[in-house]
Structures are given as C-alpha cells and as structure tokens.
Amino acid sequence: MSKMGCFPFAKVVMVLFNLLILVSGLTLLVMAIWASVDGASHLQILGPFSSQSMRHVNVAHFYMAIGALLVLLAFLGCCGAHKGSKCLLLTFFSIILIIVIAEVAAAVVTLAYSSFAKRILCAYASHAVLTEPCNATTTEGCFEQILQSLTEHANIVGAIAAGVAILEIAALMVSMYFYCHMDKRVS
C-alpha cells in the first residue's frame, strides 16, 4: 500500500480514536451529573472508599474537568483530521503527549516510592477512618482493609492503564502520521 493509500486509513483510525475519546468524555460528564444529583448512591459504588472522608472530595468536579478535557481533545482530533488543520492536529498530539508523559511519571513515582506512598496513605487514613468506623475494631484494621482492596485491584488498574497507554501511543502515531502526510495527500 502506498503512502497515499494509507492516508484514508489513517483518517478512519483518527476518527475512531476520537470517537472513543468522545464517548469516554461524555461518560465522565454523565457521571459528574450523577455525582452532583445523587452523590450518596455514587459513593456507594466506591466500596471501601465511600467513608465519610470521601464526602469531602468533590468527585463531580473531577469527573467534569476530565470529561470536558476529553471532549475538547476529541473535538481537536476530529476537526484536525476532517478539516486538515495541522495546528489542531499538533495541539491534539501535544496534549496526548503531555498526558502520556504525566502517566509515565506517575507510574515511576508510584513504583519507586511505594513505601513512601504507603506511609502517606497511612497518615491520611489514620485521620480519615476515625470519621466512620470500619468493620474492624481498630484504625489499623480498617487501614489494612483499604490496603488489601487496593492491592487486589492493582492488577486490574494496571491492565487498564496499559491498555489506555497503548491506545494513547497509537493515537500519537496516527496523528503524527496524519500531520506529516497532510500536504502530500491526494484530494
């Protein structure tokens, strides 16, 4: 397949990536509305983290910010691909690249300083779990339940993060291909 023959395929892949990003962003916006309207039922889904301390974290604002960023990102990618705007494609690429770098940095810090992160969580949890008692009779027992839950779900979170990272790297490659070959395309 010639380089010109790959361009329509890259355009379809770009639209599919951005459709996935758009659906993710809209899902987070719907969750933000749900958390704003009925925060109590939303917090029940969080399981062991639905303690009184989580009520201080405004999850709806977090969902709304990330959802809006994803919708904007999808808009940049789709418009850049459809209109042939190098500026929009470069902005899309840059935002995805910043996100990937931040994710890699967070993963490295988490792995390198896991014992430090555990001490911080312990310091926070000792204050947070005194707002609502757990099934265990001591704070340490409650903290151990939280750590066990995090450990049990670490593989799932890691697998999801790896899948997202692969999609992000693919989106970076496709958008850069699209950017580099835009002037060479056959209309």
Q: What is the pLDDT of residues 48-106, one digit of tens each?
A: 555 544 444 566 787 888 889 889 999 988 888 888 888 998 999 999 899 888 888 87
Q: What is the pLDDT of residues 159-172, one digit of tens each?
A: 777 888 888 888 88
Domain ranges of the chain: 3-181
Q: How far apart are CA 134 and CA 141, in angstroms?
A: 8
Contact criterion met (CB below 8 Å) for 172 and 96: yes
Q: How far apart are CA 79 and CA 3, in angstroms?
A: 22
pTM: 0.65
